[in-house]
Structure formats: structure tokens, C-alpha cells
Amino acid sequence: MSDKPDKFIDDNGLRLDGRRVDEIRPMKIDIGVLSRADGSCYLEWGKNKVLAAVYGPRTLHPRRKQIPDAALIRYRYNMASFSVEDRIRPGPSRRSVEISKVSAEAFEPVVLTKFYPNTVIDIFTEIIQADAGTRTAAINAASIALADAGIPMKGLVSACAVGKVDGQLVLDLNKDEDNFGAADLPVAMTQDGEITLIQMDGNLTQEEFKEAIEMVRAGCMEILEIQKKALYTKFGDDSSFDLTEE
């Protein structure tokens, strides 16, 4: 692990990687990168590299797990052994099981599961390279992969973290800011601004919390535009990519 820097924000208000406090890292999106999946996405966000694959809706087995009036959303978040400096032990961990659970829940309000009774929609996310913000990166990639699979949704889900370093709120923490910062608050939201995932490490005052939510809301809306642009570039601005309204 790197040493703690003396300062995270310089006299010009810029962070160690040159960003302003309210600036997200550059994001790059490739759609349909896996031919076996029904929908897929490769996403780079700063130094994070993430793959998402969606399978389904397909009949859920065993049948006793089927939901008669809806599809089940299953979500797997996994970090590759080589995704961080120290090797990560393969297989589920407490952290990955927790992230998988809350990420599935982040999609439940938007996916129109009622159209596909007794089925399962499987979302697999693999972190290939990690640099903080991987759960939010995976959600952004999964959202695109769901759209690529043609799964009807009320809209996309966009996610970003906000945190606190040197006593200041900063958007989209990088690894050092996450490691040594005072707070880390990942958030996912719908295009209407409804929060579908919120977690928090560390402490913020009530005022800071309110300001942090506004900051992360702006970040999510910026990401939504990047996601939409990627989809329009791939599929064209027409009905072939259809976000069905309820």
C-alpha cells in the first residue's frame, strides 16, 4: 500500500490526480464485447477495469425458487485475483457477497421483472483492475449490459461515490483518497434521481451529508449522459434501444 500523502488537495483546489473536487474520472464504455452473453459491457473508469455480462431472462431452476409473477434478479460482483496489488483469494468473500446483494437491489426498482414470471436475469460483474469505486463501476457497466440484452427498464441506473479528504468533499474517490479519506459514500440512482443504493464508511456531519448527496447526484447525472451517449452511438437514437415506460 502507498504511504499517506501530506495533502490530497493543493492550493489551487486540485487533487493529486489533477481533478477538481467535483470532477469524475474519465469513463470509457464498450458495448456487446462478449458474444455468448445476451448483453455485455466493458467499462474503464480511471484505472478501474470492469466487465459485465447479462444472461436471460431464462427459466429459473430449481422451480421452487421461481417467482410466479416476476423475474428474479441475480447479481454477482467478483474481483479477479490479479485485480489488486495483493492476490485476492478466489471465491466469494463477505465483502463480495454484500456488494452482490445490495447491487441486485439497486436494479430491482428499474427492471420490469413482472414481464418475465418464473425466470431469472443473471448479471455477472468481474473487476479486472481495481482502483476504488469498483462497486459503482460494476453497476454502471451492468446497467449498460442490461440495456444491451434488451431487458425492459424504466431507465438506466448510474452510480458514483462521494467522500471526504482534507476536510473537503470530493466526488469519485481514487484509491489513495479511499484508503486514507475520512468518508466514502457510494450511491446508485435512477435517471429520475431515486436512490437505489446508498452505503457509507466513515463520518460526515448532517450538513456535509446533504452537500455530499447533491454532489453525488450531479456525478450520477453526468455518468447517465455518458451511458446514454454510449448506447446511442452503438444502437442509434431510435426505438431499437427501448427504455419502456411503465
Least distance from ligand ADP to the Cβ atom of residue 41, Å: 17
Q: What is the DSSP string of 103-152?
A: HHHHHTTTB-GGGSTTEEEEEEEEEEE-SS-HHHHHHHHHHHHHHHTT--
Report residue 76 as a C-alpha cell. Answer: 454477482
146, 58 in Cβ contact below 8 A?
no
Q: Which of 84, 112, 128, 243 binds ligand ADP (CB under 6 A)?
A: 84
Q: Which of 25, 49, 175, 228 binds ligand ADP (CB under 6 A)?
A: 175
Residue 6 as a binder of ligand ADP (CB under 6 A): the answer is no
- Give the residues across from 28 on adjacent strands: 44
CB of 96 to ligand ADP, least distance (A): 9
Reported as type and span, the H/E element at residue 42 is strand 39-45
Q: Does 176 bind ligand ADP (CB under 6 A)?
A: no
Query: Binder to ligand ADP among 24, 27, 106, 132 (CB under 6 A)?
Result: 132
Measuring CA to CA, which residue among 132, 227, 129, 106 is closest to residue 185? 132
131 binds ligand ADP (CB under 6 A): yes
CB of 169 to ligand ADP, least distance (A): 16
Tell me which H or E stretch contains 207. Answer: helix 206-235
* Distance separating alpha carbons of residues 22 and 102, to the nearest angstrom: 25
Q: How far is CA 111 from the centre of its chain?
A: 15
Among 135, 140, 185, 231, binds ligand ADP (CB under 6 A): 135
Q: Is 40 in the site for ligand ADP (CB under 6 A)?
A: no
Which residues are within 8 A (CB) of 34 and not within 5 positions of it... i.e. 6 or more apart?
40, 51, 53
Stretch that binds ligand ADP, among 24-32, 62-70, 132-140, 233-241 (CB under 6 A): 132-140
Closer to ligand ADP by CB, 81 or 205: give it: 81
Residue 219 found at the interface with ligand ADP (CB under 6 A): no
How far does Cα 31 stand from its chain's mean position? 15
188 binds ligand ADP (CB under 6 A): no
Q: Which is nearer to ligand ADP, 72 or 139 (CB)?
A: 139
- Quick check: helix, strand or coil at residue 154? coil
Quick one: which segment of 2-10, 128-136, 190-198, 229-237 binds ligand ADP (CB under 6 A)?
128-136
| Span from 56-64, 81-89, 209-217, 238-246 in contact with ligand ADP (CB under 6 A) | 81-89
Contact 157, 106 (CB under 8 A): yes
Q: DSSP letter at 88?
A: P
- Pick 149 or 160: Cβ nearer ligand ADP: 160
- Write out the residues near ligand ADP by the rule CB under 6 A: 84, 86, 88, 130-135, 175, 178, 184, 186
